Amino acid sequence: MTSQSIDIDGIKRRLPHRYPFLLVDRVVDYTPGESLTAVKNVTANEPWVTGHFPEKAIMPGVLLVEAMAQSCGLLAFVTREAEPDAEMPPEAPLFYLVGVDEARFKRPVEPGDIVELKATLERVVRGIWLFKVRAEVDGALAASAGIRCTMREM
């Protein structure tokens, strides 16, 4: 099976987020309807670095959850694109975050880290997409959560 990837331009076509809130740099692999792996390169130039925390920069957990949610949104989007009868509207639909379940933080994420975001689609129930997602750094779990989102046409 060949690996499918999405560069930053492809991500921007699918997500409405822009700097400083576009928190996914590249999709390295995905299987529509199943899973997606993306990366976020954490740099010393991030806007939060000077204030969280000045002595020892640590990526805020809320931004890590947002990066995980964006990877789930991308998985939902490529899953919709892969549906044989899917007609994509001229404007991309939006996937709204509607819930975060069982968020856990296991290690800090710091500038210089490459966060690997691994999203898995669990199921879709009455328009709510349910995901499990992990954020890993060097193979070690940094955070995990259940993410719920819903799609809205523009």
Q: Among this protein's residues, is 17 annotated catalytic?
A: no
CA distance 90 to 92: 6
Which among 149, 135, 38, 57 is positioned nearest to 94, based on CA atoms? 149
Question: Which of 17, 26, 52, 107 is an active site residue?
Answer: 52
Residues acting as catalytic residues: 52
